[in-house]
Every structure is written in structure tokens, then in C-alpha cells.
């Protein structure tokens, strides 16, 4: 054993007793050995924690929970662009590091016992657990970790490869259970450890034996180390996963009170209406309701009235998901921000919320809504200073220094707000889209046509009023509702005018922002559906990625939020700050729930006595 390894070994022994420690590799770059990692602050959980605070450590094991899936599936590979992957297709796989529902900004050793890294973050060593087995009984080793990372770099989704390529310089297997990642000099130091520890680990031997590829659709799941494996499926009807009876991690502290169900079942339906009827009939047992109309008007069926089904609202502390209609900026007609601003006025949220949503929603205004990261008012202080620097470089107009953060248009309680119609019409006139003798908008003899692409019938009643308002502007607008497979294919090939998109942000975003908003990924990433390419946004993403402390990060996120909203590439939709759920009264959950997860398939559990009563009553199919 070399002297450096002796040093690390001794540090690991100290760590097991006291938690995180520092080992000096050289005087200028001390090494930390720890059970977890957080770039900006302390870990919530110590090395010797007994279980997560939000679980029931004595939760019983057993039973089944079932939900519904939308549309179709033809693959169990969720890591390829080809095919439609089945729900929960990632359930069999685990990562070296993991985060918790009450500490999203930290990463904790899961497949590893400890990790080591210098202050420079030039490298990281993961000391793997020696008792981890894949579902075929074979042992996970450092060779599997190296193989999987290289597999993603060779066959992974192009947008992912583009975002992380070049960040890892070398991967060295030190021994069967110790692996070292050395990071490229210019790789953002805030990302590198989470990047190395965040990829699911597959079996090298299985891939080599089967000849499977990561970039191909397949109905044969890869071999993983997770608590659940595929049990059975019927194409486009159902998928069932079962809990392994030989799961390696059953009793480790991270998993105490989790993975409580014997089986997870997904029933597929063509649309939400059919799925709701299936729930009423007991075809599946847990429903997260995303239709405000159904939540307000349809939960009066027999199983609700006799107490067999629980209908409840549970707290949701997550960021407001940045869901929106997005414009395809690759198309010339949407390149003018005046056009996009005009069109955004034709979605009347206030009327929709009163007439269609039963007042259950709030408007999305920010990419970091429902948090203190949302930009507001006129820029001040450090935010103003950052913006001034971008103005000085010619990347932003000087008006950004004095204008308040862009908010979604506010409309009256009639479907067509005449005041907004006049404003929008004037903006289109200014952009050169003039009304001809027949009342249609034209520019240089070209008619303004617009298609909204969607696959959900539930959205018809929301989108069609917006379409009618656009027609009042003189635009030849229409809704094209297609099947889910066609929607996915057209979205992936950027063959659309306007479509609905969800942009999931995090509390400590970093290089993943490039996939959502960066120029480098605009032609490859399904996350940057709108095709945003803007030098100011690229510069701000770089600033966010290279933030050195939490205060600096938060200021930069607010500036990025402000600039993104000013680009007006979206028509923001709506969110609610509660989980609206209904389930057959055979499940229980910790109280209170953690702030950032509902966790029904993670840390809820089955009450066998209640389940027996439901079966005796004949209410479940």
C-alpha cells in the first residue's frame, strides 16, 4: 500500500468515528473525506444518522400501490431518444450519490461509503460499498462505474453529452471498490463531483454479454442494483415492478422506512377522462389530480361518499414548475419579441382560472417561482451591477437597468380582453404584420399562421379560447391535437410552432441550465424546445455555474430569471402550491411530509387491515 493510500485509509477510519475530516495531500490542496458533499454549506445529516427525519422507520412492508400512465410505451430504456419509455423505467437503477427530500442541495454517499476530494475539486475518489449486488446476483465494482460513465459519453443522449463532454479528464480504477475521477481544468468545479456521482450504474458484464446499446429502445430492462425490478408488462396497458427479496440496501440507514410496497403498478390510459373513470372503478389506487375541473366537480362518486377513497390536499414546497406554451424561435415569424409579446396577451389566465380552473391556480411568472430566487421589481444592488456589466458589453439593452421584471399579462374576466387585444394589435402592426382586406395578418405577402401542438384532450378547453383570441388578432391559428407518440417525435425534431413545455429548475442550478437555455444545446436538447440562443443568457449561465458562494449564486439566478423573462419566448401557464391527491384508503404517510417530495411510491406504506376491508367491500378491481 502506497503512502498516499495509507493516508486516505487512516482518514477513512477517522471519518467513520467523527464524520467529515480533512487530510492534507499537500500544503496547498487539503483533502476532505466525508459521507456526503455540499458545495455551499454543511450537510443536514451526520455520518451516523439512523434514518431520514421524514420517514416512518417502523413502516410495514407489503401491498401494492398503483397509478396511471398516459398514452403508450414501447421501451424500458429512458436514456435514449428512440422509443417511448415506460413509467418508472428508471426504478431499477441507483447512483453513487443521492439527495434527500429535505436536503435537495446536498449529495450523500449511497453506493459509496465515503468520498474524497481536494479543496480544488480537481479530482474525486469514491470508496464503494463492497456488498452491492445487481439484480442478477453479481457484485457491483468500480469497473461497472467506469464502464457506465463511458457508455453515457459514447451512446448517451446528444444534449447530455454536449453538456458534460470534456468535464472528466480521466477515470482510474484504483482497486475493485475504489474509483477516481480526475476533472478537466476548465470544468465548473461546482458540478464535477455531482456529475461523477450522479449517473446510474449499470452492469458491465450484462451489456457485454447481451450487446445492448444505451441509444436503442428495448423491452428488456438493463441490469441495475435498485430495490425494484420489472415483473411483467402488457404493451400500452400496464407495467408491474416488484420489490427484490435480495435487495442489498434493505437495512442501510438511507433506506429505513422506504421502498415499502411489494409491487408498483402502472395502468395505461389514452386520456385523463378514461383514466379518471378507471380510478373510480378501482382499476388503480392512487391519483395525483392535475385537472382542476375534475378536482372541483367530479369527486362525488360512491367511493368518496362512503369513505373508501380519501380526497385531500397536501403541502407542496417545491419550486413552481415553469410550465408554459413556448414559441419555436427557430421559425422566422417568432424571432421578433414584439410578436411574442402580442401573442402572449391572448392567453387570458384570469378568465381561465375563474371559468375553467375553479380558482385553484396561481399564475407562473418566474422560472424560480414559489421561492426567494424569483426576480422582482426594478433591479437593485448586486443584481443591478451584474446587469450593468452585460449592458457595458453590449449584450443587453440599457432599458433593463430601470424596467421592472417582466410579469405575465393581466386580463379581465371576459375571455377576450379588448384592452389587451388593442395593445397586441398595435405590437403586431409595429412588427410589420398588418391586417389585409380580409382581416388576416400578413407580412410581405405571407399570412401569419400558427399551430399549437398538443396530445392532451384535457388541454382543449384551455387552448381553444386562446386560439379564438388569436384569430381575433387576424392570425390563422389552430390547435392540432395529435397522439402522444407523434407529439414526442415532432417535439424532438422541433417541428412545431407552439407547444407546451415544462422547465424544471432547481434551488442550486448549474451547468444543466445549458440544456434548457444555452446556445450550445439548442439544436440537440429536448429541454431547449424553444431554441433559445442569446449571448446574454449564455453569459449569465456561465456566471451561475461559476458562483463561489450561495449569496453570489442567488443574485445571479435572479438576474438570469429577469433576463429570461424579458426574452418572452413563453406564454407562462399556472401552478398550485399543494398536491391534490386521491387514493383508496389503504395507504398512510408520515406527517408532516418533507418539503420537496410527496413520496407516495418512496416512503408511504400499505395498511393491510384497511386494505382487507376494501377488498371485502368489493371496491377494488
Q: Write the Ramachandran bin of 166: left for phi over 0, alpha for psi from -120 to 50, otherwise beta.
A: left
Provide the pLDDT confidence category of residue 28 given band limits of 50, 70 and 90.
confident
In the DSSP assignment, the letter for residue 133 is B
Estimate to the nearest angstrom the gap between the alpha carbon of 167 and the chain centroid.
22
Provide the pLDDT confidence category of residue 522 given band limits of 50, 70 and 90.
confident
Given a cut of 60, whether residue 15 has pLDDT beyond it is no
Given a cut of 60, whether residue 214 has pLDDT beyond it is yes
Span 114-122, average pLDDT? 97
Span 182-201, average pLDDT? 94
For residue 446, give the 3-state DSSP assignment.
strand
Provide the pLDDT confidence category of residue 27 given band limits of 50, 70 and 90.
low
Distance CA 109, CA 328 (A): 41
Give the whole-number percent of the chain exceeding pLDDT 70: 96
Check if the beta carbon of residue 390 is closer than 8 Å to that of residue 396.
yes
Distance CA 21, CA 37 (A): 12
Rounded to 5 degrees, φ, ψ at 207 are -65, -40
Provide the pLDDT confidence category of residue 45 given band limits of 50, 70 and 90.
very high
Span 124-130, average pLDDT? 98
- Grid coordinates representing 153 are 459519453
The per-residue DSSP string of 190-241 comes to TTHHHHHHSSBP--HHHHHHH---TTS--SSPPP--SSEEEEEEETTTEEEE
Element (H, E) at 173: strand 168-175
Q: State residue 41's pLDDT score.
A: 80
Distance CA 281, CA 289 (A): 16
- Burial label for 17, CB within 10 Å (0-12, 13-18, 19+), is exposed
In the DSSP assignment, the letter for residue 288 is E
Distances (CA, A) of 60 to 262, 457, 609: 10, 39, 12
pTM of the model: 0.86
For residue 93, give the 3-state DSSP assignment.
coil
Given a cut of 90, whether residue 525 has pLDDT beyond it is no
Distances (CA, A) of 418 to 338, 348, 469, 578: 18, 11, 10, 33
Check if the beta carbon of residue 181 is closer than 8 Å to that of residue 196.
yes
Q: State residue 71's pLDDT score.
A: 87
Q: State residue 617's pLDDT score.
A: 93
Q: State residue 26's pLDDT score.
A: 55
Question: 132-155, pLDDT tens digit by residue?
Answer: 999 999 999 999 999 999 999 999
First to last CA, the chain: 62
Distance CA 294, CA 357 (A): 9
Distance CA 279, CA 276 (A): 5
The answer for residues whose C-beta is within 8 angstroms of residue 245's C-beta and 6 or more apart is: none
110-113: which pairs have CB atoms within 8 A and are 24 or more residues apart?
110/249, 110/254, 111/140, 111/201, 111/225, 112/197, 113/12, 113/35
The size of the chain, in residues, is 621
Q: In 3D, which of 29, 11, 30 has the Cα closest to residue 21?
A: 11
Given a cut of 50, whether residue 487 has pLDDT beyond it is yes
Question: 369-421, pLDDT tens digit by residue?
Answer: 999 999 999 999 999 999 999 999 999 999 999 999 999 999 999 999 999 99
Span 317-326, average pLDDT? 94
Q: State residue 165's pLDDT score.
A: 78
Question: 552-598, pLDDT tens digit by residue?
Answer: 999 999 999 999 999 999 999 999 989 999 999 999 999 999 999 99
Element (H, E) at 355: helix 349-355
Check if the beta carbon of residue 334 is closer than 8 Å to that of residue 327.
yes
For residue 330, give the 3-state DSSP assignment.
coil
Given a cut of 70, whether residue 4 has pLDDT beyond it is no
For residue 443, give the 3-state DSSP assignment.
strand
In the DSSP assignment, the letter for residue 253 is G
Q: CATH 3.10.105.10 spans which residues of the chain? A: 322-575
Rounded to 5 degrees, φ, ψ at 285 are -120, -10
Question: 56-108, pLDDT tens digit by residue?
Answer: 999 999 999 999 999 889 999 999 988 899 999 999 999 999 999 999 999 99
Distance CA 56, CA 52 (A): 9
Greatest Cα-to-Cα distance within the chain, rounded to the nearest angstrom: 87
Q: State residue 22's pLDDT score.
A: 45
Q: In 3D, which of 339, 245, 280, 350 has the Cα closest to residue 584?
A: 280
Check if the beta carbon of residue 477 is closer than 8 Å to that of residue 467.
yes
Q: State residue 3's pLDDT score.
A: 32
Check if the beta carbon of residue 556 is closer than 8 Å to that of residue 381.
no
Rounded to 5 degrees, φ, ψ at 35 are -90, 0
* The CATH number, out of the four listed (3.30.70.3400, 3.10.105.10, 3.40.50.300, 3.90.1150.10), of the domain defined by the range 322-575: 3.10.105.10
The per-residue DSSP string of 532-579 comes to ---HHHHHHHHHHHT--SHHHHHHHHHHHHHHHHHH--EEE-EE-SEE
Distance CA 572, CA 366 (A): 8
Question: 236-273, pLDDT tens digit by residue?
Answer: 999 999 999 999 999 999 999 999 999 999 999 988 88
Check if the beta carbon of residue 492 is closer than 8 Å to that of residue 81.
yes
Distance CA 150, CA 199 (A): 11
- Grid coordinates representing 235 are 404493451
Given a cut of 60, whether residue 5 has pLDDT beyond it is no
Place of cell 449569465: 540
Distances (CA, A) of 607 to 35, 583, 591, 617: 34, 13, 16, 16
Given a cut of 60, whether residue 543 has pLDDT beyond it is yes
Distance CA 200, CA 175 (A): 20
Given a cut of 80, whether residue 163 has pLDDT beyond it is no
Q: In 3D, which of 536, 535, 557 has the Cα closest to residue 547?
A: 557
Beta carbons within 10 angstroms of residue 568's beta carbon: 18
Distance CA 11, CA 147 (A): 28
Q: In 3D, which of 107, 250, 88, 104 has the Cα closest to residue 601?
A: 88
Higher per-residue confidence, 334 vs 9: 334
Q: In 3D, which of 570, 174, 176 has the Cα closest to residue 363?
A: 570
Strand 476-481, strand 449-454: pairing: parallel
Question: 427-450, pLDDT tens digit by residue?
Answer: 999 999 999 999 999 999 999 999
Element (H, E) at 582: strand 578-584
Q: State residue 21's pLDDT score.
A: 52
Amino acid at each position: 500500500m502506497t503512502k498516499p493510500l495509507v493516508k486516505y485509509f487512516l482518514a477513512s477510519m477517522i471519518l467513520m468515528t467523527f464524520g467529515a475530516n480533512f487530510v492534507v495531500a499537500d500544503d496547498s490542496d487539503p483533502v476532505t473525506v466525508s459521507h456526503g458533499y455540499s458545495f455551499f454549506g454543511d450537510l443536514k445529516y451526520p455520518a451516523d444518522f439512523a434514518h431520514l427525519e421524514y420517514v416512518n422507520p417502523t413502516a410495514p412492508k407489503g401491498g401494492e400501490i398503483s397509478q396511471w400512465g398516459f398514452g403508450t410505451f414501447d421501451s424500458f430504456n429512458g436514456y435514449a431518444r428512440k422509443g417511448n419509455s415506460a413509467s418508472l423505467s428508471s426504478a431499477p437503477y441507483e447512483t453513487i450519490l443521492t439527495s434527500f427530500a429535505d436536503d435537495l442541495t446536498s449529495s450523500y454517499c449511497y453506493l459509496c461509503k465515503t468520498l474524497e476530494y481536494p479543496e480544488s475539486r480537481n479530482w474525486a475518489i469514491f470508496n464503494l460499498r463492497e456488498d452491492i449486488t445487481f439484480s442478477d446476483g453479481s457484485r457491483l465494482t468500480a469497473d461497472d462505474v467506469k464502464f457506465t460513465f463511458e457508455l453515457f459519453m459514447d451512446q448517451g443522449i446528444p444534449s447530455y453529452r454536449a453538456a458534460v463532454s470534456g468535464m472528466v479528464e480521466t477515470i482510474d480504477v484504483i482497486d475493485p471498490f475504489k474509483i477516481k475521477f480526475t476533472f478537466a481544468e476548465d470544468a465548473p468545479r461546482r458540478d464535477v463531483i455531482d456529475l461523477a456521482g450522479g449517473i446510474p450504474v449499470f452492469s458491465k458484464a450484462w451489456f457485454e454479454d447481451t450487446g445492448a446499446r444505451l441509444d436503442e429502445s428495448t423491452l428488456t430492462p438493463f441490469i441495475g442494483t435498485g430495490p425494484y425490478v420489472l415483473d411483467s408488462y402488457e404493451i400500452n396497458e400496464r407495467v408491474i415492478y416488484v420489490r427484490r427479496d435480495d435487495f442489498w440496501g434493505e437495512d442501510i440507514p438511507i433506506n429505513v422506512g422506504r421502498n415499502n410496497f411489494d409491487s408498483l403498478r402502472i395502468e395505461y390510459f389514452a386520456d385523463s377522462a378514461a383514466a379518471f373513470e378507471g380510478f373510480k372503478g378501482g382499476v388503480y389506487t392512487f391519483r395525483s389530480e392535475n385537472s382542476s375541473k375534475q378536482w372541483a366537480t367530479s369527486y362525488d362518486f360512491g367511493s368518496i361518499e362512503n369513505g373508501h377513497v380519501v380526497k385531500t390536499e397536501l403541502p407542496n414546497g417545491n419550486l413552481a414548475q415553469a410550465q408554459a406554451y413556448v414559441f419555436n424561435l427557430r421559425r422566422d415569424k417568432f424571432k421578433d419579441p414584439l410578436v411574442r409579446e402580442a401573442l402572449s396577451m391572448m392567453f387570458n389566465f384570469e378568465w381561465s382560472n375563474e371559468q375553467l380552473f375553479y380558482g385553484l391556480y396561481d399564475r407562473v411568472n418566474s422560472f424560480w417561482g414559489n421561492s426567494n430566487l424569483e426576480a422582482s421589481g426594478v433591479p437593485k444592488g448586486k443584481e443591478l451591477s451584474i446587469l450593468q456589466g452585460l449592458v457595458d458589453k453590449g449584450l443587453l439593452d440599457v432599458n433593463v437597468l430601470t424596467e421592472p421584471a417582466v410579469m405575465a399579462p393581466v386580463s379581465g374576466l371576459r375571455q377576450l380582453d379588448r384592452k389587451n387585444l388593442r395593445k397586441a394589435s398595435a405590437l403586431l402592426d409595429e412588427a410589420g404584420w398588418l391586417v389585409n382586406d380580409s382581416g388576416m395578418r400578413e407580412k410581405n405577402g405571407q399570412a401569419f399562421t400558427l399551430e399549437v401542438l398538443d396530445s392532451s384532450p384535457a388541454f382543449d378547453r384551455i387552448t381553444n379560447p386562446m386560439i379564438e383570441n388569436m384569430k381575433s388578432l387576424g392570425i390563422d391559428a389552430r390547435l392540432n391535437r395529435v397522439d402522444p407518440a407523434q407529439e414526442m417525435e415532432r417535439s424532438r425534431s422541433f417541428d412545431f410552432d407552439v407547444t407546451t413545455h415544462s422547465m424544471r429548475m432547481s434551488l442550486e442550478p448549474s451547468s444543466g441550465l445549458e440544456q434548457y437555455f444555452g446556445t450550445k444545446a439548442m439544436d440537440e436538447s429536448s429541454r431547449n424546445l424553444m431554441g433559445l440562443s442569446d449571448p446574454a443568457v449564455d453569459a449569465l449561465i456561465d456566471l451561475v455555474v461559476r458562483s463561489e458562494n450561495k449569496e453570489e449564486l442567488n443574485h445571479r439566478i435572479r438576474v438570469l430569471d429577469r433576463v429570461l423573462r424579458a426574452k418572452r419566448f413563453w406564454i407562462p401557464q399556472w401552478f398550485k402550491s399543494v398536491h391534490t391527491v386521491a387514493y383508496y384508503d389503504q395507504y398512510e404517510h408520515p406527517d408532516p411530509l418533507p418539503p420537496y417530495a410527496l413520496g407516495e411510491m418512496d416512503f408511504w406504506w400499505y395498511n393491510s387491515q384497511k386494505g382487507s376491508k376494501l377488498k371485502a367491500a368489493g371496491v377494488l378491481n
